[in-house]
Amino acid sequence: RTFRKTINNSTSVGFVPTMGALHEGHLSLVREARANNDVVIASIFVNPAQFGKGEDLDRYPRQLEKDSELLKEVGVDHIFAPSSDLMYGKNHVTYVEPMGFGETNEGKSRPGFFRGVATVVTKLFNIVQPTNAYFGQKDAVQCVLIRRIVEDLDMDVNVKIMDTVRESDGLAMSSRNAYLTQEEREKAPVVYQSLCAAREVYDARFARGMDEVEADDLREVVESVLETEPMIKNVQYVSVDDLETMKPLDKVGNDGCVVSLACVLGSVRLIDNIVLR
């Protein structure tokens, strides 16, 4: 915060918050920030408030030295890597509770997750005071949540949502992909393939002159593709939601939607989404 006060108000500050274990998706956000801001700041913080009981907080990959080098290579000027004690002191009692997000399918799957995200993002924005903040579309509900926070709490931050960065076979880049065994990794592209099948249905219906598509039809085609892969042990949800609110839709018209899913492949939970419009 003391450092932030040394930056002139006319200087644009780009901010990329991360939990570390960086991949090309993170680095693409940094490059976008570098191209459009005078100063670029990145944070590395594994936020305990967004992990539930039995989740992977303790084993989440941490590689601060390597991540710091990667960030410097792509043009980050300053790295903020606080400890949990710094972010959540012993008397910390204040959290940001975003109403309704716990009722999304992702929120139901991970109770308390969005409260943790809302709290840490609010704290980071208050500390860094960015002009522009960059996030990836892969975490669809999180993106809507962050825009909601900024609007509801009157924050002077421009939220920039960038397209999901994918491997050559379509798998969305994620730090948790490191958990996949070789066999699981070979099967993982089926997740994106299922979403592409939904896009084909959506595009085909509108190409035939229809003005809306049943959300159930999109869900069913995603589920049918996922069911072809025996290594998928559990499809936690397939959602068809409004792009602005993440509220579930019965029918999808010209305004489009976001189709998102969470499934367990082998022992690894994967999420992904696709925007249809």
CA distance linking residue 64 with residue 58, whole number of Å: 15
Q: Residue type at 113?
A: F
Q: How far apart are CA 112 and CA 48, in angstroms?
A: 11
* Residue from 23, 26, 78, 92 carrying the catalytic annotation: 26
- Residues 185 and 43: their CA atoms lie apart, in Å, by 28
The pair of structure tokens assigned to 114 is 């969005």
Instruction: Classify residue 63 as exposed, middle or buried by CB count within 10 Å of its CB (0-12, 13-18, 19+).
Output: middle
Q: Residue for token digits 């799957």?
A: 109
**φ, ψ of residue 245 in degrees (nearest 5):** -120, -15
The answer to whether 23 is a known catalytic residue is no
Residues with active-site annotation: 26
